[in-house]
Chains A and B, each alone.
Chain A
Amino acid sequence: MVAVTESLLLLVVVVATALAFDFTNGFHDTGNAMATTIATRALKPKQAVLLSASLNLVGAFLSLTVAATIAKGIVDANVVTLGVVLAGLAGGILWNLLTWLLGLPSSSSHALIGGVVGAVLAAAGTSGVLWGGLLAKVLLPALIAPVVAIIVGAIGTRLVTHLTRNVKQEDNDRMFRWGQIGSASLVSLAHGTNDAQKSMGIILLALIAGGAVPADSGVPFWVILSCALAMAIGTYLGGWRVIRTLGKGLVELESRQGMAAETSSAAVILLSSHFGYSLSTTHVATGSILGSGVGMKGASVRWSVAGRMFVAWLITVPAAATVGALAYGLGAVIGGEAGSYVVFGVLIALSAAIWVASRRKPVDHNNVNEEWAPGEGDAPAGTDETVATVDTVDTVDTVEAVDAIRAVDAEESPERAAVGVAGHEQGGDR
């Protein structure tokens, strides 16, 4: 595996990167549990992310069956070195941040697997990847998960809305609000348990590889604590862009649908891991929300927004793999530990660039529930549909377009625009 001569500093870099991935994981996946709760106003946005963050924190401590493996059955375990892990994490983090910028929910675990696959390809060639495993465990489930969730969510919504069709709307909202909070909490708890363990596993693997702990070591307490905290902080800061797309972009939701969708998500996620056929939380949650639109009479589903998501899911693995391969290549060209530090530095620089790009039109707890504009989501979320390119980082047009929107906003609602501008300057996308 990894030579023991590698220094403590390299180990620190890998652990820090794993925690950063853990953070983006929480950040990116808040919407899976809480988007419907926020969209139906069952909870205020800040309350929802606080509840979700707390449950993620609890979930991370709840069950500790951590295995020191990464992408097991998908890549050859013998070629996974610290350099591969670092490059894989870089791929996962950058794909998470990019999809967040575009407001697209995409699977964090698929992003990580993609990053590792790319790094392995660069390190060991095509023989290092177990292609059958990749197809059976990652690519096909990405297509199957939403279909299963759409079916379950649609049936649940149909039954619920039929049974309560004569109940007054206010009674429905009042009672289903609690069902919604309960089911969304379950999704948060399951996420904390499941996903924090992945980061713990990566850090444990790095510690073993670096010789810091013996090979049969359990997970040190500081690893559990730091992973739990990184994910909880990420969840609390809330990927508002993704929340907005899930809660407002796909279907106009009411409490009954939200409750049916989250229960469907919790059931399918828990059952799939019980039967040993793990499905991604993100794919299941998105499918359930779509199902709650399919099952609701008179509701319309924005399939164009859903279509963009499906495309993003299909390219998650190749895209993250490309980043992972480039990161590994960069590290290898420079060579040795210095290469790893350069990869780490480039990762920080690119992450900062994506964050800066997101400032152009922030989405935060103030505007997360605003009406979904026609055509929104056809262009990168957070920019106007007049900006057709993905590369918004240095596009002057974007600034002008956003300023134009602000000007219109200001005429319609001075207060809201003022909040938006303040958020823009103070980093309100938190």
Chain B
Amino acid sequence: MSEYIEWSALGNVLLFGILVGAGLPALFALGVRTVAGPSARDAEGNVPTGRKVLGGICFGITLVAVLGAVAYIAAGGH
């Protein structure tokens, strides 16, 4: 079988697929948890600035990843 399956390419797809394809949603979920989780709001019902910044970083990284993917498609890497 090994002559018909490019195992190294497949391994890379699986490895980076899990890192990016599962990691980015997890990061986004972390952002959601940070700004909307059970202890996200203080006594007055406001989300503290620290949490907002942390959540913003999580969402920011996912946004940059999406824009990076668009740039990658446009550059003809696809």
Residue numbers of A with Cβ under 8 A of B are 59, 62-65, 132, 135-136, 140, 144, 148, 151-153, 155-157, 159-161, 163-164, 166-168, 171-172, 175-176, 179, 182-183, 186, 189-190, 193-194, 256, 259-260, 263-268, 270-277, 279
> B22 touching A189 by the CB < 8 A rule?
no
> B73 touching A63 by the CB < 8 A rule?
yes
Indicate if B77 sits at the interface (CB-CB under 8 A): yes
> B73 touching A193 by the CB < 8 A rule?
yes
Interface centre among B29, B62, B70, B73 (most CB of A within 10 A): B29
> A275 touching B13 by the CB < 8 A rule?
yes
> A152 touching B21 by the CB < 8 A rule?
yes
> A264 touching B36 by the CB < 8 A rule?
no
Cα distance, A417 to B29, chains bound together (Å): 40
Indicate if B38 sits at the interface (CB-CB under 8 A): yes
> A275 touching B74 by the CB < 8 A rule?
no
Which one of B4, B5, B23, B28 contacts A179 once the chains associate, using CB atoms below 8 Å? B28
Interface centre among B3, B36, B63 (most CB of A within 10 A): B36
> B78 touching A267 by the CB < 8 A rule?
no
Interface centre among A172, A186, A193, A277 (most CB of B within 10 A): A277
Residue numbers of B with Cβ under 8 A of A are 3-6, 9-10, 12-14, 16-18, 20-26, 28-33, 36-38, 62-63, 66, 69-70, 72-78
Chain B residues near A194 (CB-CB < 8 A): 78
> B17 touching A263 by the CB < 8 A rule?
no
Chain B residues near A144 (CB-CB < 8 A): 5, 10
Which one of A63, A155, A189 contacts B75 once the chains associate, using CB atoms below 8 Å? A63
Known: A136-B5, A274-B77. A259 touches B25 (CB 8 A): yes
> A166 touching B37 by the CB < 8 A rule?
yes
Min CB gap A229→B, angstroms: 20
What are some 29 contacts across the A-B interface (CB < 8 A)? A62-B73, A63-B73, A63-B74, A63-B75, A63-B78, A132-B4, A148-B10, A151-B17, A151-B18, A152-B22, A153-B21, A156-B25, A159-B29, A163-B33, A164-B32, A167-B32, A167-B33, A171-B32, A172-B36, A175-B31, A175-B36, A186-B66, A189-B73, A190-B73, A260-B25, A268-B21, A271-B13, A274-B78, A276-B6
